[in-house]
Chain A
């Protein structure tokens, strides 16, 4: 976006670390949308952290039943109304933030932990091993993640754990692709050639030269993936294959609330809004980071 003006042609090592950081921060802060994203993400993380202490009916997230006050419209007592068993929608949306944060983090981290080493092996070691890794990756990438996840959860049975397993399982190939391409490109660079010529071990080259240079695209992809993973988990929840009641997961809430449209619209409207804002936040941050760290990349 507008921070695009800033180009970083110099290799990272040449600048003093703290000076460089300050420059990044300044450049990042210059973009209003990136800052907006940061604010949203910050609010989201705080809400996820302190949620249980700020909600009016914490027991409603653990499966309380108050049938006498079911399906009430938004009011002073229930800001966002109540659902079909009388639980406070506001409470559940707030507590859902923690669930979503966990899901997003776990999927992204697991995918990166699986994908990055495989990508480095494929790109750096190459040969038959690399070939095999890339083949498998291509197979996974040839089917949209959601469809594959659907198949996996369909087989394992619906639960939040299985949804996370399925999504992590279909998410890692993206990292392999990314890191493999980057490693291949770096392999041609003079400083890696030089290191190799001076007799540095493979592991050393990987740890000292390749990995650090892969960090910024990984960070950019990671922050975008947080949003995408939250969205994907919510999608599975919506289909009925993700989180299960009384777990306060947004996608599942929309899915159940959908049966109560249009009369009881608040039940599905607000959790959706929460997903939208959260994913928007992570995407804006990811956008800002990309403009900063990895301006050439697409998508």
Chain B
């Protein structure tokens, strides 16, 4: 059986294989892109479309904000609405008529001027397509309520008074109708084309768009509003990196300038590394467990109160390694009119047991269903905390992870809405109505309305407050609303997690604004100052 002559050849084959495998092994050194200081953003989420009328989430909006302008813009912390395409505006005393005066030098990327007609067309398009941000204004604004007064003046007349109107306008970006209509296919109002093309006037324009891989935008040097820093970035590459370990490694090696979406423990780790900064700001995203207030067993107010007093709120802070603050009201801290509600629930097992004794389940012994979004690490951990805490009341908790659409479907009906539903909510505006309205009947069945909260007095207050133009009149109503909602315990009001990013320390100019989404960065003010 010995075949000595076969051996050399076989060995040769093997060596060759190994050599070919190893020869390709050395990783090439990373190279910065020329003198144009391109910022590399390693993000986990795709940008499937950038059509401003169709969809928004943090990654989409980060790109939309870079490519487009709106009449006004949210800037800073606390967020302020500053003039942008509109240099000033007026509102009538009944909060129904809003008039905006446009700047005269704004140009779209193809050189067309930004006119009132373009603004009208853009708002009308979003209303007509009835997607993306349409819901924000569609109850109040109809297409015929938008009037072009002259080339640089536009007037919106609402169907009924609506004080929060202005707070939504920053998310309604202005498109160039001429350019969009030139690329229309089969009357789609340019939907197909705008998916990965832009017709905006923003500080950046598209350079490379490789769906599912990377998205590159380059700075418009002649941006009509100018640039805040002479070192402003020459462009941004949003590179999809779906693995946190890869993101972190890229940051540490200097291959990425900004990363988002790391775990709390990861951020703590990278913050200690030289050359890395971790901006850390309280966000506006609330986390809570919505309780189904209309279906047994959580329809029992005493059981709900037992739950809200049994939960270990400090565990939330521990999960985020202290990088979070507890809610002191149903409203996030950055929302206008927020008050710290006196006696806001904290863990108090004695009180929890008192409430439980008054409930229909004095000895516990029931199982509650906790539904959360599958894959969300923090929500999973909070579920584990729930199991632990409610176990002390002899209440069992069953953890049910669902995909987002399935979870939303569960929450859409009283009968199927789970006992506890974990929800992160980021209000899209700083106006208190954006949060208060989540407790109105009209929000029933939405993901943030899965509590099916019922309190006609509160609803009345909410409806009145949104029609008043004067803030002094609105503020006390919202204080009352916060106290009343808290008293009914429709939810375990949790915490506001801090927003964090991992950044190389040569990235300057970062401006935080809590009204943006978690992960979203305003790219316009960023600069790279190399040492």
Contacts and interface: CB of A to CB of B under 8 A. Distances in A.
Q: Do chains A and B touch in the complex (CB under 8 A)?
A: yes
Interface of A: 62-65, 67-68, 71, 84-85, 157-159, 240, 244-246, 256, 258-264
A67 B315 contact: yes
Contact of A159 (B380, B385, B388, B400): B400
A259 B245 CA distance: 7
B265 A260 contact: yes
Contacts of B381: 65, 84-85
A245 B380 contact: yes
Main secondary structure of the interface of A (DSSP, over half): loop
Nearest to B245: A261
A67 to B, nearest CB: 4
Contacts of B374: 158, 240, 244
A252 to B, nearest CB: 10
Nearest to A245: B380
B377 to A, nearest CB: 6
Given A259-B263, A263-B269, A63 B384 contact: yes
A33 B245 CA distance: 38
A242 B402 CA distance: 12
Nearest to B380: A245
Interface of B: 244-245, 263, 265-266, 269, 315, 318-319, 374-375, 377, 380-381, 383-385, 387-388, 399-403, 406
Nearest to A241: B374
Contacts of B383: 63, 245
A264 B269 CA distance: 11
A157 B315 contact: no
Contacts of B263: 259-260
Given A63-B388, A65-B315, A244 B399 contact: yes
Contacts of B384: 63-65, 85, 245-246
B55 to A, nearest CB: 22
B373 to A, nearest CB: 11
Nearest 8 A-B pairs (CB), nearest first? Answer: A63-B387, A67-B318, A65-B388, A63-B384, A65-B384, A65-B385, A240-B375, A85-B384
Nearest to A66: B388
A157 B402 contact: yes
Contact of B245 (A64, A85, A240, A258): A258
A238 B108 CA distance: 47
A246 B265 contact: no
A256 B245 contact: no
Nearest to B264: A84
Contacts of B266: 259
A99 B315 CA distance: 29
Given A65-B385, A67-B315, A84 B401 contact: no
Contacts of A240: 374-375, 401
B403 A259 contact: no
B96 to A, nearest CB: 46
A84 B399 contact: no
Contacts of B385: 65, 85
B193 to A, nearest CB: 31
